[in-house]
Amino acid sequence: MSDVRIPSPNEGATIEELVDLMYRYKKELEFILMNLDGNNVPIINSLVEDIDGNFTNITQNAEEISLVAGDVSGNTASIVINSDAITSIVSDVSGNASSITQNADAITSIVSDVLGNAASIVVNSNAITSVVSDVNDNASSITQNADNINLRVEKTDYDGNTIASLINQSATTIDISANKINLNGVTTMNGLTNVNDDLILGDGSDSKISFRYYSNEAGYIKGGSYGVEIGCASAGDPVRIKNPIILSGNLLMEGEDIQCDDISCDDISCDGLRVDNELVYFGVRDGDSLNFKNSSGSSVGGINFSTGVIY
């Protein structure tokens, strides 16, 4: 298209000549507009700005359309559209930013700040994953799909090692993995088995509850085909049962020392009784006897089972 110049009537042009010139330029412009494509007009750019430094810009080519708006302070918002995705970004002068990217497979949202802290959510047809992280490499994540829910919290120590706790839940199982697990309040556990070999309940032939004093085992309660056993980890340590306790059935107590203020039962059978640290036997060996003493410790009589003498 030639340069457009319309002569004025002062230059001697008639009205008919001016109309004919305008008509010719109109037809030429229509022809150009009908044939515009990516070959002869590869980019269309439209920039509008004011005296204060605010601006908007639209850029269009055959592959994408980009829209940007900004202000004099450095805050900007942009949208980029192409055949594969739509991406929108909003940022401020401090370096904080949020973005949303959408394509046919997923939607991703990210919010971050100038320090390096960030939060993101990714949604697709199979799962939803959310992640929150900070500048110190600490992070937490939740992943949910149709089969399970996975929760993870991790941090990096001074040596560069990653420490993590995990909870994974499926329709049949919940797995918890952590250096420490704290349960506060009333806790009910059914069918619990094999927790660090210290607490084994259920079908085990030697199931037990272990009690620890610091890192060392102090005592235990265990059950098996023989019944229930209460014992101490170290031989010779006493097993203490305090306050009124009612025990029914056959009771077998093993050890060198049984101490109590009062025993009330229908039948006692044992190899030996120690009274004030004096061991006496009865019913098994020749010479077994039972000595009675008063509150001051003086002997007041007894029974010699080998002779039947009461003294």
pLDDT digits (tens, 9 = 90+) for 110-155: 999 999 999 999 999 999 999 999 998 899 999 999 999 999 999 9
DSSP β-bridge partners for residue 170: 148
Residue 242 has pLDDT above 70, yes or no: no
Closest CA to 119 of 128, 108, 132, 106: 132
pLDDT, the chain, mean: 77
What is the phi/psi pair of residue 230, to 5°? -115, 125
What pLDDT sits at residue 105? 95
In the chain, % of residues over pLDDT 90 = 30
CA distance 34 to 27: 11
What pLDDT sits at residue 283? 45
Residue 157 has pLDDT above 60, yes or no: yes
What pLDDT sits at residue 254? 63
What pLDDT sits at residue 290? 72
What pLDDT sits at residue 281? 45
Residue 234 has pLDDT above 80, yes or no: no
- Using one digit for the tens of pLDDT, what is the confidence trace for 51-108? 888 899 988 888 899 999 999 898 999 999 999 999 999 999 999 999 999 999 999 9
pLDDT category at 1 given cuts 50, 70, 90 is: very low
**15: Cβ–Cβ under 8 A, 6 or more apart, which residues?**
9
What pLDDT sits at residue 84? 94
Q: Once rounded to an integer, what is the mean pLDDT over residues 161-175?
A: 91
Residue 48 has pLDDT above 70, yes or no: yes
pLDDT category at 216 given cuts 50, 70, 90 is: confident
Residue whose structure tokens are 């319309």: 6
